[in-house]
Chains A and B, each alone.
Chain A
Amino acid sequence: DAKTTQPNSMESNEEEPVHLPCNHSTISGTDYIHWYRQLPSQGPEYVIHGLTSNVNNRMASLAIAEDRKSSTLILHRATLRDAAVYYCILTFYGGATNKLIFGTGTLLAVQP
């Protein structure tokens, strides 16, 4: 499984945008880029995924570099409820299932 590298922690202020980076230099052409987050005492929560093009949904945006070796999760206006561990995960596109191999993730702190 291709690996990802994320900063251990980041801080943001409430109502400001947050850019969470992820490096995946060994990504293959058949790997999806997923982002999940885990709030304290809860199960992981799907945030967004993409393959090649940038993606937007109600929670966040995903910006994927042209060479796909890195990506950035963008939270447009951070709230206190966005404080969580954010995981960037690669999964094989086209498999029967999509197991998630969690790395260390980025602990996001949001200050009021």
Chain B
Amino acid sequence: AAGVIQSPRHLIKEKRETATLKCYPIPRHDTVYWYQQGPGQDPQFLISFYEKMQSDKGSIPDRFSAQQFSDYHSELNMSSLELGDSALYFCASSLGSRPEAFFGQGTRLTVV
């Protein structure tokens, strides 16, 4: 069965650069969530979208923005990168508000 696809899997950026992370949800899933997991930490909710509209917002820095496109894929844009942004970024998708969310393998962002 198709799963959530994230790209790239690994990304190395320098401080103050920008990065774009992409998420392709499971077919027919209309809800996308973004999470950040720092080294040795638990995942933290950043933002979510339902039917291309932002549905909820967590601890997402103002330097980050995200959107969901007409084909339901989502992109997380990160500007003015800081060393502390180094983390695993997970995307998850679900069908509407169904309780089961399915996570991708994550994008490992390293800021140097």
Contacts and interface: CB of A to CB of B under 8 A. Distances in A.
Q: Do A and B come from one complex?
A: yes
Interface of A: 32, 34, 38, 42-46, 49, 85, 87, 91, 94-105
Interface string B73-110: 00000000000000000101010011111111110000
Given A32-B99, A97-B31, A98-B99, A43 B105 contact: yes
Interface in B27-77: 31, 33, 35, 42-45, 48, 50, 55-56, 58
Closest 9 CB pairs of A and B: A43-B103, A102-B42, A49-B99, A97-B55, A46-B100, A102-B43, A99-B45, A43-B90, A97-B48
B101 A102 contact: no
B26 to A, nearest CB: 12
Interface residues of B, number: 26
Tell me which of A100, A101, A103 has the highest count of chain B C-beta atoms within 10 A of its own C-beta. A100
15 contacts: A42-B106, A43-B106, A44-B92, A46-B100, A46-B102, A49-B99, A85-B42, A87-B42, A91-B99, A98-B98, A99-B58, A100-B45, A100-B92, A100-B101, A103-B42
Nearest to B99: A49
A103 B4 CA distance: 23
Contacts, number: 64
Nearest to B45: A99
A97 B45 contact: no
Nearest to B106: A43
Nearest to B102: A46
Interface of B: 4, 31, 33, 35, 42-45, 48, 50, 55-56, 58, 90, 92, 94, 97-106
Given A45-B103, A87-B42, 15 more contacts: A32-B99, A43-B92, A43-B103, A43-B104, A44-B92, A85-B42, A96-B55, A97-B31, A97-B48, A97-B56, A98-B98, A98-B99, A99-B58, A100-B92, A102-B44
